[in-house]
Amino acid sequence: MATSEVFFGPFKVTTQVFYKTKLSMAVVNIKPILPGHVLVCPLRVVARYKDMTSEEVADHALTVHKVVKVIERVYGTTGATIAIQDGGSAGQSVPHVHTHIIPRKLNDFPSIDDVYTKLESAEGNVGQFLQLQKLRKAVEEQKKELVVESMNRPPRTMEEMEEETKLLAGELEKENESKL
């Protein structure tokens, strides 16, 4: 879908982008908390919500609005957790504004708010995982060994993420065509 390189903070996510506007993008998540857990970000790498332009904020909100409708339909859910962790002290693990869209069903967690605990736990820390992955690759290139801590929720493969990217991109195209 994406034609030029696209970044989520310092990480290239070009092949995980399933929807893109002039100012925003939606990407599949390498470590979804639940099936269909995606992120919406401004295209410009900006760390904090308050640092976005008014135009970026408006486009971001409209993108979240559009994507959540498609995600709920595709994953057959009855609700969504829509969350922004704005800054490191709020649990933001990658210094790039991103809205989590997590499709929800009744009783998918023991407590409704357990999703926030997951987002803030080691298994929800995508930034830490991506940094470790980047470090592992650098060390492999130098023919050294690195022990990486095991995390409960395994990351998806690039193939799995690209498959979901194609599915969701197609669904958003259908959504756009139905509005014409």
Give the domain CATH number at 155.
3.30.428.10
pLDDT of residue 132: 61
46 in any annotated domain = yes
26 in any annotated domain = yes
Torsion, Cα 174 167 28 101, to 10 degrees, reads 50
> Whole domain around residue 53: which residue ranges?
7-175
60 is annotated as an active-site residue:
no
pLDDT per position as a tens digit, 137-178 = 655 555 433 333 334 667 889 999 999 999 999 999 998 888
180 in any annotated domain = no
2 in any annotated domain = no
pLDDT per position as a tens digit, 108-118 = 988 877 887 87
pLDDT of residue 4: 87
Please state, in angstroms and rounded to a whole number, the distance separating the CA atoms of residues 125 and 118.
9
139 in any annotated domain = yes
Task: Give the Å distances, CA to CA, from 91 to 75, 127, 147.
Answer: 26, 10, 25
Backbone angles phi, psi at 146, to 5 degrees: -140, 130
1 in any annotated domain = no
Q: State the total domains in the chain.
A: 1
Q: Which of 37, 60, 96, 98 is catalytic?
A: 98
Residue 128 reports pLDDT greater than 80: no
